[in-house]
Amino acid sequence: MRKITLIAFVLFLGIINSQAQVSVSPGIRGGLNLSNFTNFGNSDPKSDFYAGGFVAIRFNKYFTLQPELTYSRQGAEVRAYRDGGFGPMQTVKYNLNYLSLGAVAKFHIGGKGFHILAGPSLDIKTDDNFPEYDYNPTGADFSLVAGLGYSLPNGLTFEARFKQGIIDIYGYNDLDSDYYYDDIILNEVFQIGISYTFKVR
């Protein structure tokens, strides 16, 4: 009985060990941003790009943790007056660009190519083109990311993500007596792109 128990225990450890082989692989990613601001007057989505790199930490066939470093060009197209409010109306592209430090958790459905993902992102502003007479956007944002994708055996992955900022880009707070929730201006970004994970032997 003891031999049977010992053999079963060794087999169990072997199965657990085989399922827990962690692989670490670097990769690159990039694609299209369709970004906008909430509660920002007559704004429309602005198309631009994102590009960056990541490290895919695959714990098993069902779960991957992916730290990411991404340059993300965001903003919106806004109907605004020229020349500090004294000129005619025109469509202006407001650029608000970030260096994003993120970490997404990927859950591979059935251990196959399809996956869902979610995670946080700390976005550090690199630059913007907001007019000098306008408010100066805050230097950082915190975002939540969710999406889905499909990975091919050759390392290519196709993904669609939605990125929602949760910090007012103008840094207001509810202590202002004339400030309401509908005045909060947040980043919203829809991303569609491709990535490639390098195979590390």
191: Cα separation from own chain's centroid: 8
| Domain of residue 89, CATH code | 2.40.160.20
Instruction: Calculate ∠ Cα 71-74-77, nearest 5°.
Output: 155
Instruction: Calculate ∠ Cα 33-35-38, nearest 5°.
Output: 160
The count of domains in the chain is 1
Is the confidence at residue 179, as pLDDT, over 60?
no
- pLDDT for res 116: 98
Closest CA to 66 of 197, 200, 199: 197
pLDDT digits (tens, 9 = 90+) for 5-15: 455 444 444 44
- Across 38-44, average pLDDT: 84
Question: Would you say residue 79 lies in a domain?
Answer: yes
- For residue 102, CA distances in Å to 32, 52, 89 come to 18, 11, 38
Phi, psi of 46 (to 5 degrees): -110, 130
Question: Would you say residue 10 lies in a domain?
Answer: no
Question: Would you say residue 36 lies in a domain?
Answer: yes
Question: Would you say residue 158 lies in a domain?
Answer: yes
- pLDDT for res 1: 56
Tokens of 54: 């990541």
Question: Would you say residue 147 lies in a domain?
Answer: yes
Cα–Cα distance measured from residue 56 to residue 162, given in angstroms and rounded to the nearest whole number: 20
Q: Residue 168 is part of which domain span?
A: 22-197
Closest CA to 33 of 106, 93, 89: 93
Question: Would you say residue 151 lies in a domain?
Answer: yes
Question: Would you say residue 5 lies in a domain?
Answer: no
Is the confidence at residue 180, as pLDDT, over 60?
no
Question: Would you say residue 4 lies in a domain?
Answer: no
